Amino acid sequence: MGSRLHTAEGELNLIRPARPQDVSQILSFIRELAVYEKLEHEVVATEESLRTTLFSDKPAAEVVFIEDNGIPVGFALYFTSYSTFLGKPGLYLEDLYVKPEARGRGYGKKLLAYLAKEVVRRNYGRLEWSVLDWNLPSIEFYESLGAEPLADWIRYRLTEAPLKRLAESV
């Protein structure tokens, strides 16, 4: 099941859910995104960890690809979040990536529109994501769609040793 989109040039685009046999492509896109974000040193995901976490009985996240004539040119990885204020779930977009040679053709917008449709279809309350503060092309793109930064919020994260210390503190 996918969503077919035709461009003015007649190209056929398909947004489709990822399948277990796509884990190598997912990992490749994750690594490419990490290089773009100057965070490649942080990627420890493996094909096996992706297979386990994305395609188990209780997947931790979902992935869709956008294809150009059958070739994946981008992906979105997202998961369900929850808003206590809205009393509804939402979707949190963890990663959105379009290959550099495919940028400027509307693929990122199509992926976000697909996710917006999913939020509406599921009767969720919102679609959220984070962007690096130096990534002006992405910030301008998101704002052109009507997205607004949450200036009053600071995102925090616990990983590795601090996470383990806190877990062992009680």
Structure confidence by residue, pLDDT tens digits, 13-53: 799 999 999 999 999 999 999 999 999 999 999 999 999 99
Residue 13's pLDDT is what?
74
- Look at residue 11 and tell me whether its pLDDT is greater than 80: no
Structural domains in the chain, sorted by start: 3-167 (3.40.630.30)
pLDDT tens for 110-146 read: 999 999 999 999 999 999 999 999 999 999 999 999 9
pLDDT band at residue 3 under the 50/70/90 scheme: low
This prediction's pTM: 0.90
- Look at residue 4 and tell me whether its pLDDT is greater than 70: no
Q: Which residues are catalytic?
A: 142
pLDDT tens for 71-81 read: 999 999 999 99
Burial (Cβ within 10 Å: 0-12, 13-18, ≥19) of residue 30: buried
83-105: string of b/e by CB count within 10 Å (b at 16+)? eeeeeebbbbbebbbbbeebeeb
Mean per-residue pLDDT of the chain: 93
Alpha helices of the chain — where are they, by DSSP H? 23-36, 47-54, 107-121, 136-144, 160-167
- Look at residue 7 and tell me whether its pLDDT is greater than 50: no
